[in-house]
Structure formats: C-alpha cells, structure tokens
Amino acid sequence: MITPDRVKGTRDFGPEDMLLRQRVVGIIRIIYEARGFVPIDTPALEKWEVLSAKGAGGDELLKETYNFEDLGSRRIGLRYDLTVPLIRYVSMNPNIPMPFKRYHYGPVWRYEESKPGRYREFYQFDIDTVGSQSMAADAECIATVAEALSKFRQYIGDFKIRINNRKLVEGVLNYLDITSEEQVIGEMRTIDKIQKLSREGLFKEFKTYKISAVQAERILDSLSRKGEIKQILSEMKKDLPKNEKIAAGLSELEETEKYLGAFGVLANCIFDASLVRGLGYYTGNVFEATLEGKNSGSIAGGGRYDKVIGLFLGKDVPAVGFSIGIERLLDLMKGKITPEPLTEIFVAAVSQDLLPEAIKISEKLRTQGKRVQFDLMGRNFSNQLKFADKIGAKEVWILGPRDMAKGEIVVKDMKTGKEERVKINSLINN
C-alpha cells in the first residue's frame, strides 16, 4: 500500500477554500470587466526559449523554474508568472486591437524554498494594458485595483497605493554619477530591501555596486520623500536638479496625478520615493498597494514596462500592469467570512422506500431555485437529522409513510427546532 501524499509545496483546495476563492475571483472579475479588461488564459507549459528570453525578467526566476525535456526531446518549463505568457500572446497576435486590456487569473510554478504561506504552485491575478503610452492607463490600473481591494476592506483593513517613477529614480542616480545600467539596477535592488536591511547593511550593499558612501548618503536622503503626490511633486520641482530623466519622471507623475484625480482615488494614493520594486523591467511608474498597520506588507504590485512586450517583435510596445496578491488576500479573508450553507433544505425520508418520493420533492424544490439534498447513505432518521445539521441545512423536510398517505409533510426549522405540518401540494406549488 502506498502512502498518499502531495508534492512538496503544493496544496489541495477543499470545498471551503474553493467556495471562498470562486467568490473572491468572481467579485474582482466583475470589476475588471466593467472597465473593459477581458480574460485570457495561456498554457501551464511554455517553451524554455520563451521563458528564458532575455529581458522578460526571469533571470533570477529561471533558477527556480520547473523544466524538463518532453518525450519529443523539447525543453519545456512551467510558467513562473503571467507576464511572459502575455508577452508571447501579444507577439503571436499582431493584429489584436489596441489597447489590449486583459486580466488573467491562473496558477504559476516556482521551485522555491518551502515556507509557511509560500507555495511552489500558487495563483496570480494580473491586469495589464498593452499598447497605450498614456498615463491614463496607469491611473486606470491603479483605480481598478483600488476598487477591487476596497471590496474586501472589512477583511483586509485600509490600504494605500504607494507610487514612484523609475525615470525619476534613474535621473537622481544619474545626477549622482551613477550611470551604468548595472549600477542603476543594482542600486534599485538595494533600495528595494530598504525595509529589511539596516543602514550599515544598505551601505555595504551599495558598495558592492561601486557606490560611494557619499553617494549612498544622498541616495538615502532622496528616498525619504513620502506623502501627498501633488505636494511632493511641487517640492521636487523646486529642489531637484534638472536633467532629462528627472524631468520625464516628474512629468509622468504629474499626468498620473491628474488622472488619478479624475478617477477619484487620490485619497488612496501617496508618493513614496523609497518604492522601486525589484524587477529590472519597469520603465516608468511603479506602484504597490500596502495594507495599513505595521509590517503588514503589500497586497498588490505593478508598474509600467514599455520595453518588454516588444521583446519578440523587435519594437517597443508600451504596457502597464498591476497584480493583486490573490493568495495573500485569500489568506487574510480565511476564517473571517461565513459562507452561505450550500444546502438549504435536506429532504429526509423516514423509511428507505420513500427515497423516490424524497427525490421527487427535492427536484421540485430545485426548480424553485432551492439548493437541496437527500440521504444517499441509507441512514436512519436521526442520523439523517445529524447530517443535515452538519452541512448547515436551514430546513429538514420530513417524509413519513402516514403523513405522505395524507399528502402531508413535516417541515423542521433547524435553527428554532420548530416543526410544522403542511400539505405537500401547497408547499411545492407556491
């Protein structure tokens, strides 16, 4: 006999998990579709050449990507995110109308260190707008995710969407004579760890990218700006040196702020100079939704990546996306939400030969929109009642031979325990 076991880092989703998941995904889908984001799905399997295409952001992730040769000796990998499939999809559908606004909910696979709350197979839920250079697209992603998260405020509490701009950060680094791509990206990775590392740790890491203590000091100073977007923008316009990238970053942020105002979500947004997000592929605005309360971390992340979609096309295609941390969201909701009982009425037949009658009545009730079950286990009456109670049925309809002969039935309210004798016809036909 083999001991049944799951693959390490994977989960089964039982009925309670799935009902919650379906409900949450359903609520978010409606919000996404109302703003014109449409669903797509792509295979779990991708060619290794596609997954490992340079610039798709996977350099680090490739190390932990499940991959193997198929029976035809082709190297295949399980997708590690939903962005690379989007890039491939857009490349293979060159006549797709622009903007292409899609959402995608699906599993991804990463062979990561197994930790509580971290899985090797987990779900992502992304929206992306491909083809638009307008900051209105950035603002729309932010407003859309803000609306989705606000639907779950009673479970996750308040949130803020922190916004920064990569061009602005790069402009400041350039001004500090940090200009090589390697240094710029390294520096951004370091800033990304600002919550985790001590000041000494940060300096040490900056040093590995050949950034001097003086430079590091000024970088950290510049990262302290945080607050209302309009306010910080006007300060930065006065304080910051003028170079092309700084000007571009400020102008993008200014435009984004204008559209966020039109969407009515400015109260949920703040500027945060310390936000850069780790991935190398962002080119403009970056954003992250953070839950209020100490160390509660982020619940969504995204930004503009104008250089990546065109990877296979040989030309730039602008794009911006925002991804909800759906696993985190579901974890936060679990146990805080009482699902509606799936079965409203349990039809109990006191003797087994009345089972066909129980089925007939169940089916009639179902045509009235009720969710109904009956006994499939040959249980005696008292065990049927116990089972009905266990599955949370609101009512038990009791079929006894003498009652049935008179065309009657007993309806028991499981909450109050009250029983009522009723004519079957009147119950089923109303």
331-350: which residues touch a copy of itself (CB under 8 A)? Answer: 342-343
Q: Among residues 203 and 263, whose Cβ is nearest to a copy of itself? A: 263
Q: What is the DSSP string of 148-211?
A: HHHTTHHHH--EEEEEEEHHHHHHHHHHTT--SHHHHHHHHHHHHTTTTS-HHHHHHHHHHTT-
> Contact letters (x/-) for a copy of itself, 198-217, by CB under 8 A?
--------------------
Q: Among residues 87 and 202, whose Cβ is nearest to a copy of itself? A: 87
Q: Report how far residue 79's alpha carbon sits from residue 89's, in angstroms, rounded to the nearest whole number.
A: 13
Task: With beta carbons less than 8 A apart as the criterion, state whether 123 and 82 touch.
Answer: no
Please report how close the Cβ of residue 133 comes to a copy of itself at its closest, in angstroms. Answer: 8
DSSP state of 252: H
Residues 260-299 binding a copy of itself (CB under 8 A) are 261-264
Strand partners, 197: none
Binder of a copy of itself out of 24, 28, 57, 88 (CB under 8 A): 88
Please report how close the Cβ of residue 78 comes to a copy of itself at its closest, in angstroms. Answer: 8
> Contact letters (x/-) for a copy of itself, 311-330, by CB under 8 A?
xx-x----------------
Please report how close the Cβ of residue 125 comes to a copy of itself at its closest, in angstroms. Answer: 14
Q: Per the structure block, which two tokens stand in for 145?
A: 């995710």
> Contact letters (x/-) for a copy of itself, 227-256, by CB under 8 A?
------------------------------
Residues 122-161 binding a copy of itself (CB under 8 A) are 129, 131-134, 136-137, 139-140, 143
Q: Which stretch of DSSP H or E encloses residue 324?
A: strand 319-324
Q: Among residues 121 and 217, whose Cβ is nearest to a copy of itself? A: 121
Q: Report how far residue 395's alpha carbon sits from residue 344's, in angstroms, rounded to the nearest whole number.
A: 6
Binder of a copy of itself out of 24, 28, 76, 236 (CB under 8 A): 76
Residues 362-381 binding a copy of itself (CB under 8 A) are 363, 366, 369-374, 376-378
Binder of a copy of itself out of 8, 115, 196, 238 (CB under 8 A): 8
Nearest to 126 by CA among 321, 331, 328, 329: 321
Let me know if 182 is exposed, middle or buried by CB neighbors in 10 A (0-12, 13-18, 19+).
exposed
Please report how close the Cβ of residue 322 comes to a copy of itself at its closest, in angstroms. Answer: 15
Residues 10-69 binding a copy of itself (CB under 8 A) are 10-15, 17-19, 21-22, 29, 33-36, 38-47, 49-50, 53, 64, 66-69
Q: Report how far residue 37's alpha carbon sits from residue 323's, in angstroms, rounded to the nearest whole number.
A: 13
Q: Report how far residue 299's alpha carbon sits from residue 329's, in angstroms, rounded to the nearest whole number.
A: 7
Residues touching a copy of itself, count (CB under 8 A): 104
Q: Report how far residue 136's alpha carbon sits from residue 279's, in angstroms, rounded to the nearest whole number.
A: 23
Q: Among residues 21 and 160, whose Cβ is nearest to a copy of itself? A: 21
Q: Which residues contact 146 (CB under 8 A, 6 or more apart)?
A: 159, 161, 265, 268, 269, 289
Q: Among residues 14 and 116, whose Cβ is nearest to a copy of itself? A: 14
Binder of a copy of itself out of 87, 269, 329, 424 (CB under 8 A): 87
Residues 391-410 binding a copy of itself (CB under 8 A) are 391
Provide the sign of the torsion angle of the four alpha carbons 64, 70, 72, 73, taken in this order.
positive
